Amino acid sequence: MHIKLGVAPINWCNDDDPELGKEISFEQCIMEMAEAGYIGTELGNKYPREVPLLKKALAAQGLQLSSAWFSTFFTEPGQYENTLSRFMDHLSFMRAMGASFINVCECGHAIQGTTRPILSPYKPEFSKEQWGALIQGLHALGRIAHDFNLRLVYHYHAGTGVFYEHEIDYLMENTSPQLISLLLDTGHAAFADIDSLNLIHKYQERILYVHLKDIRPEVLDKVKKEHMNFMDAVRAGVFTVPGDGSLDFETVIKALLKHQYSGWMIVEAEQDPAKAPPLQYAKKAFDFLREFIQ
């Protein structure tokens, strides 16, 4: 079993709010990733989109592109063809970069980019027809990805229609294991009051990609009491790197390894880099995780 440790650029420069980390360059980001000891990265908003340029820059730091986020909008009327077209462009880029995974998330009707409270009734609840459109659309993308030797890993996320455990269960029960796999995100699981161990035990064979994100319970309590929106929760520090919050990563990692997990584990913590210096936190997480990952 081989675990590859990577780190997401969102620790340096936030994709949802580019104001967070706007002063940090792409070059600083990947240099500090390598300095902290990581060998992989996901795609960030400051990364060049010219394949030769990005490949050269990452290779110079000993980094590999592991995956990238892709938003689908299958639950919104008239978005099927547009989502499919964007996916083809995205897949071509990822394939040219040598990545093996694409992190898909249905963002139709999502509220994570709005001012609405993130843990609230405003979160989308898909109708039977919307679920059907989502499942059909994901299968279409999954077949295309499979033909090009890439895998779709579904990323459940706060503020979207697939966030709580029963929603993850429904998606897994109604999609093909050959076409749709699961991205285990420990932070978003905790945000939804899900025990990551439950997901590991239920979907061990479908978890092909992992985001390691910790949570600060005292901030989560504040998010709930003050009805914060998603980005205010991020700025308040609800998420942090493994070893800096309350989650039991030793048990989670041991459970994954027990079920023969191998591949990428990506450290991800959406934080304000002015409050949480990225290099310092990246090193902290790397040193912490090395206690359990050899």
Q: How confident is the model over 165-177, as pLDDT tens digits?
A: 999 999 999 999 9
Q: What is the pLDDT of residue 275?
A: 94
Mean pLDDT of the chain: 96
Nearest-10 Cα torsion for 80, 166, 236, 207: -70
pLDDT on residue 294: 72
- Write out 70-139 in H/E/C secondary structure: EEECCCCCCCHHHHHHHHHHHHHHHHHCCCCEEEEEECCCCCCCCCCCCCCCCCCCCCHHHHHHHHHHHH
Domains and CATH numbers, the chain: 70-277 (3.20.20.150)
Per-residue pLDDT, 121: 87
Strand 214-215 and strand 151-154: the pairing is: unpaired
Mean pLDDT in residue range 177-197: 98
Report, as an integer, the average pLDDT of 249-263: 95
